Structure 1
Amino acid sequence: MNATLHVARKIRRIATFSILGLFAFFASGEPRCADLDTRQGCKRFDVSLVQLIANPDQFDGKRVVVGGFLSLEFEGRALYLHQDDFRVGNTSNAVALELPADWLTSTASIDCPSYRYVRLEGEFSSQNTGHMGAFSGSLKSVERCGQQRMRPVQ
């Protein structure tokens, strides 16, 4: 019985390190330029939330397009990596949102329902960590939002 337990622990340890290795590999990947200006360079980057959280200084002050699970709660307006992160309050896997005052009545918010997976475009700030400093940065000057289509599960 002890040998079986030892093997199970070893397999779990290998799986954990493999997942962490993949996470580090994808987090360090080069960002894709979504809008290139030949004179000024990249005007906005298409990045994952993992890239923003893992490399905040690389994107500080830059326009990004990023997807995640949206929460528009009072003092909790944020884009989370996953719905489960939102549900358990894991704000380290989220960026705070600085939305314009007229956001909820603007046309930009029509296709941007709370508690859904969305893609947002805004300027990333690694310095502003949201309400009580709980988040891993913030998106300000959010201009565009679109709900992501979910593929049916077979």
Structure 2
Amino acid sequence: MKIMMKKIILLASLNLWFAYLPAQASSVVEVSIAQLIASPERFDGKLVSVVGFFQNEMEESAIYLNRDEMVQAIRKNGIWIELNSSQMQSITKLHNDYAKIEGLFSATERGHFGLWSGSIKDIKKIFRWTPPPIKRKKSLTGH
């Protein structure tokens, strides 16, 4: 009986301990650029995954809400992307295209001259994003 009670107490203690552990840093949060811009403190220090229009030029590696934001240089509607030298070399064909990027978001680090609304560093994944095909519903008239 004593052994059973000790096991129950141990299990209850472990459950309490695990309940107070912070969320795993490795769990990726799917988020929009708009969410990062609107609530940067909510995602600060979290591993995020975003889709947007990616530009990779000298002193300007960033992901924007869309192409127009990049063309018009509305940098506050973008997030600075901090790439290491090997990543810079491997993504040369990804310039000026939509991309999906996964990395660590920082609300306080805002890129070159602090012009962006945050940054994503420690990039885990970066690749060209292709939207899924749109499934069209059949019309009632058969057309």
Provide TM-score, normalisation by structure 2: 0.72
1:45 maps to which of 8, 22, 29: 29
Give the corresponding residue for 1:147.
Answer: 128
Residue 104 of structure 1, CA deviation: 2.6
- Which structure has the higher relative contact order (CA within 8 Å, separation 6+)? 2
1:23-66, Cα deviation, whole Å (9 max, x unpaired): xxxxxxxxxxxxxxx96535210001111010000000110000
Give the corresponding residue for 2:16.
Answer: none
Matched, 1:133 2:114: yes
The count of corresponding residues between Structure 1 and Structure 2 is 113
Structure 2: how far apart are the matches of 1:104 and 1:51?
26
Give the corresponding residue for 1:104.
Answer: 88
1:81-107, Cα deviation, whole Å (9 max, x unpaired): 11000000000100001111221334x
Provide TM-score, normalisation by structure 1: 0.67
Q: State the SS of the aligned residue for 1:105.
A: helix
Amino acid at match of 2:33: L
Amino acid at match of 1:131: H
Structure 2: how far apart are the matches of 1:150 and 1:58?
27
Unpaired runs of 5+ in structure 1? 1-37
Structure 1: how far apart are the matches of 2:32 and 2:100?
10
Q: Name the structure where strand makes up a greater proportion of residues.
A: 1
Return structure 1 stretches of 4+ with deviation > 4 angstroms: 150-153
Q: State the SS of the aligned residue for 1:41.
A: coil
Structure 1: how far apart are the matches of 2:127 and 2:74?
23
Q: CA RMSD in A?
A: 2.2
Q: State the SS of the aligned residue for 2:110.
A: coil
1:82-133, Cα deviation, whole Å (9 max, x unpaired): 1000000000100001111221334xx37x6110011100000000011111
